[in-house]
């Protein structure tokens, strides 16, 4: 499984950029460029405004508009830890006018874990691009009783993690960390967004949260929260002294296997997809448009400066990476089924 994910990530190459080659295709009806010109593309964010996913979408939107000739409107559809919006995308009209940024960690985990009420199959979505590959981070309040991750591992009482719901990073990671590192956890859900969840542990009603790097960086710099562990790789200097999950000793081969799959999952991070069954020429047009937008030097420089780096992967390679994750090892799938 790790080889499949790595091959999908490493073997990708952009063969046709809209801006450079004018690609699009000749499907039924109007050519895609003519169809999208003057239309409105809804760029759906499955969370409340202001979080990392929302900021990425709003950064990308004007460049996507330029690359498609369409108006691009960012729409927030929070609920069920991001799964509500994905459920809506799965049944929307297959015209290519609804695209969604997806928390791949949460969505893949929900499907593999057979989460109750799930009404979509990720293999059926039309994958457009990976936006970023981003480590997740265990964070606590600056005055937390947990000074290090080893303190957390030594806890005899359940560590209280906050979560926005079953499709989110902060729902999936804590129980997996519990399995991998042998410490008890409770996951507290019901928060409308990661900001509201953060408030709970800042005021002492909970202990910790797991979120992507870009979602916690500003609060770390402000001194509100502290990082204890990174899950995945990051070059951000904020985490120079923070231990990484891959470097910590484990007790059993099963724990090693689960951690390996979790790190592969983190490598997909934020992706973009549209509905199933989009006409092939329109799908190629959208993939080329996201390639055009996400490789724009201005956007890349802006995102890097804002500590929200773009790490583009083309649509076909993203689809292969997601497929590899959906066929992950048995120990990982069993662990997910037990926590969802």
Residue 330 in tokens: 């048995």
Residue 214 in tokens: 């870009």
Residue 314 in tokens: 């083309």
Cα separation of 234 and 240, whole Å?
A: 9
Per-residue model confidence (pLDDT) at position 159: 98
Cα separation of 70 and 72, whole Å?
A: 6
The number of CA neighbours under 13 Å toward the Cβ of 62 is: 6
- Residue 56 DSSP label: H
Per residue in 209-240, pLDDT tens? 999 898 899 999 999 999 999 999 898 899 99
Per-residue model confidence (pLDDT) at position 3: 52
Per-residue model confidence (pLDDT) at position 17: 42
Residue found under tokens 């459920």:
87
Residue found under tokens 């979790």:
262
Per residue in 178-215, pLDDT tens? 999 999 999 999 887 888 999 999 999 999 999 989 88
The Cα-based distances of 268 to 51, 190, 262, 318 in angstroms read: 18, 26, 10, 8
Residue 13 has pLDDT above 80, yes or no: no
Which is more confidently placed, 192 or 159?
159
pLDDT class of 119 with cuts at 50, 70, 90: confident
Per-residue model confidence (pLDDT) at position 209: 97
pLDDT class of 82 with cuts at 50, 70, 90: confident
Residue 12 has pLDDT above 60, yes or no: no
Residue 189 in tokens: 């859900």
Task: Find out whether 170 and 161 touch, Cβ atoms under 8 Å.
Answer: yes
Rounded (to 5) percent helix, strand, coil in the chain: 45, 15, 35
Query: Whats the size of the chain, residue-wise?
Result: 340
Task: Find out whether 266 and 108 touch, Cβ atoms under 8 Å.
Answer: no
Per-residue model confidence (pLDDT) at position 5: 53
pLDDT class of 169 with cuts at 50, 70, 90: confident
The H or E element containing residue 14 is none
Per residue in 21-68, pLDDT tens? 344 333 456 789 999 999 999 999 999 998 889 999 999 999 999 999
Residue 155 has pLDDT above 70, yes or no: yes
Average model confidence (pLDDT) for the chain?
89
Of 218, 177, 219, the C-alpha closest to 201 is: 219
Cα 165 to chain center, whole Å? 14
């Amino acid at each position: 499984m790790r080889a499949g994910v790595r091959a999908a990530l490493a073997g990708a190459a952009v063969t046709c950029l809209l801006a450079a080659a004018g690609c699009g295709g000749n499907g039924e009806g109007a050519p895609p460029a003519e169809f999208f010109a003057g239309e409105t593309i809804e760029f759906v964010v499955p969370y409340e405004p202001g979080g990392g996913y929302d900021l990425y979408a709003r950064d990308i939107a004007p460049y996507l508009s330029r690359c498609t000739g369409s108006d691009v409107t960012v729409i927030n559809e929070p609920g069920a830890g991001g799964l509500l919006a994905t459920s809506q995308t799965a049944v929307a009209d297959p015209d290519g006018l609804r695209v969604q940024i997806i928390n791949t960690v949460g969505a893949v985990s929900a499907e593999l874990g057979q989460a109750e009420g799930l009404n979509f199959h990720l293999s059926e979505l039309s994958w457009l691009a990976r936006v970023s590959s981003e480590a997740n981070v265990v964070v606590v309040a600056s005055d937390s009783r947990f000074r290090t991750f080893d303190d957390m591992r030594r806890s005899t009482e359940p560590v209280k993690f906050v979560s926005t719901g079953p499709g989110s990073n902060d729902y999936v990671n804590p129980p997996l960390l519990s399995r991998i590192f042998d410490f008890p956890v409770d996951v507290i859900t019901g928060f409308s967004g990661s900001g509201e969840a953060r408030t709970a542990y800042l005021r002492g009603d909970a202990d910790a949260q797991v979120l992507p790097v870009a979602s916690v960086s500003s609060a770390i710099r402000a001194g509100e929260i502290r990082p204890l562990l990174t899950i995945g790789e990051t070059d951000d200097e904020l985490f120079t002294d923070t231990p990484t999950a891959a470097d910590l000793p484990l007790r059993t081969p099963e724990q090693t296997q689960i951690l390996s799959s979790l790190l592969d999952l983190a490598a997909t991070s934020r992706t973009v997809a549209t509905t199933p069954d989009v006409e092939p020429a329109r799908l190629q047009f959208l993939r080329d448009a996201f390639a055009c937008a996400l490789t724009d030097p201005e956007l890349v420089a802006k995102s890097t400066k804002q500590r929200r780096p773009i790490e583009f992967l083309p649509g076909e390679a993203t689809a292969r990476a997601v497929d590899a994750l959906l066929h992950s090892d048995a120990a990982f799938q069993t662990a997910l089924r037990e926590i969802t």
